[in-house]
Structure 1
Amino acid sequence: MGKSIFRSPVAWAALVSAVVVTALALSWFQPWKLFTDTYVDEALPGAGTTSAVPAPTSATPAPATPAPATPALTTLAPATPAPASKATPAANEILAAGTFVTHEHQTTGSAEIHRLANGRHQLVLRDLKTSNGPDLRVWLTDQPVIRGTAGWHVFDDGDWVELARLKGNRGNQVYDLPASVDPRDFRSVSIWCKRFSVSFGAADIKTT
């Protein structure tokens, strides 16, 4: 009977090394994500939605003045306009918006910067559709969006801020901007694969 090749220490070492390398490669590249999707459907802020500010009311109504028994010639005083409310209701507003273009992976959808009635800012991704991938992040950057392979790696060349890990590769989602971030300092949004330093897709956000 022939001897098994795996009785050799060298063969066993080679086999173990191959298994370890394969496991590390699978963990690093996570190829199964190309065939799976994560859906998100968050409530989106509505543009033009106002914050409720109740109108001031008088605590006690003014007493009615009785009419004279015998009317004479009466001089009508000019009407006095009602005092304006001191607090003007604020409204949500879309400051900038843009449409995603494809970089390393097919990407569609739109991105919007909202200023809420309370003064905070949010990034809204509408109908996003891209590939699932390892270590995807949502970046605001000061770099222009360039179509094609020339635009895959530009977003870490300048200033950028990471808002969060991508919640899902499909659907509607909202990301809060830190109070220290001025959205006017940025011009694009990238779905950024941090592990491989490449953009899956990006959108130029232009003032509306």
Structure 2
Amino acid sequence: MGRGGRRRGPLVAGILVVAVALAGVGLYWFQPWKLWQDETVQEALPGLAAPTSAAPEPTVSEAAESAPAAKPTPKPTPQAPRTLSRGTLISHEHTTTGTVQLIRLPDGSHTVRLENLDTSNGPDLRVWLTDAPVKEGKAGWHVFDDGKYVSLGKLKGNKGDQNYTVPAGTDLTSLTSVAIWCDRFDVSFGAAALA
């Protein structure tokens, strides 16, 4: 074998190593297998009081022993969660459907609830509460990180009903939309204006 053949072997091996490394980085970065993986999450609305068991009725002998029966004190009716605003998700980078609600819970805290969510899975998806306007088409894909936003955490699943706690002290008066945001590629998968 000539000298050219000996030189070509290490060069080909080097090219293969670089190609495998680039393919590995590309797979990690884009995570294309997530497009075929669905994660469904079904969470109940938080803040609903669990049913309490009634106190046992006193026996006849206990009732006879007690002095005049006092009227039972009525228990206060627990407040129900209250929807402050809602919206319908529109598609951006990926087809996205479902509804969004901003809800005040009985304890005064707030949550964003996604219902009947159906979108693509992807890398580093987040739920953002933002001040950006929701725009149709490509004009709306990249606007949500231009202004004020609060990240409510990673998207729990790309399908189902999910709750996201709004941090205490968040000024909700200026935050008027919710986006399913791909933080890795700075693009909205879908968004809803809250009204």
* Coarse TM-score class (shorter-chain normalised): 0.7 to 0.9
Supply the distance in 1 between the matched residues of 2:6 and 2:34 (Cα, whole angstroms). 36
Q: Which residue pairs with 1:32 in the alignment? A: 33
1:115-134 alignment runs, 5 A limit:
115-134=104-123
| TM-score, normalization by structure 2 | 0.81
Partner residue of 1:189 out of 168, 173, 178: 178
| TM-score, normalization by structure 1 | 0.77
The structure with more helix, counted as a fraction of residues? 2
1:91-106 alignment runs, 5 A limit:
91-106=80-95
Q: Which runs of 5+ in 1 are unaligned?
A: 53-59, 64-84
May I ask how many residue pairs the two structures share in their alignment? 180
CA displacement at 1:90 relative to structure 2: 3.2
Supply the distance in 1 between the matched residues of 2:161 and 2:84 (Cα, whole angstroms). 18
1:157-196 alignment runs, 5 A limit:
157-196=146-185
Supply the distance in 2 between the matched residues of 1:197 and 1:88 (Cα, whole angstroms). 45
- Check 1:188–1:129 CA distance in 2 against 1; reply closer, same or farther (3 A cut): same
Q: Which runs of 5+ in 2 are unaligned?
A: 52-66
Identical amino acids, percent of aligned pairs: 53
Give per-residue Cα distances to partners, 1:130-171, cap 9 Å, x unaligned: 000000000000011000000000000000000000000000
Supply the distance in 2 between the matched residues of 1:143 and 1:134 (Cα, whole angstroms). 22
Q: Which residue pairs with 2:21 in the alignment? A: 20
Q: CA RMSD in A?
A: 2.9
Q: Which residue pairs with 1:71 in the alignment? A: none
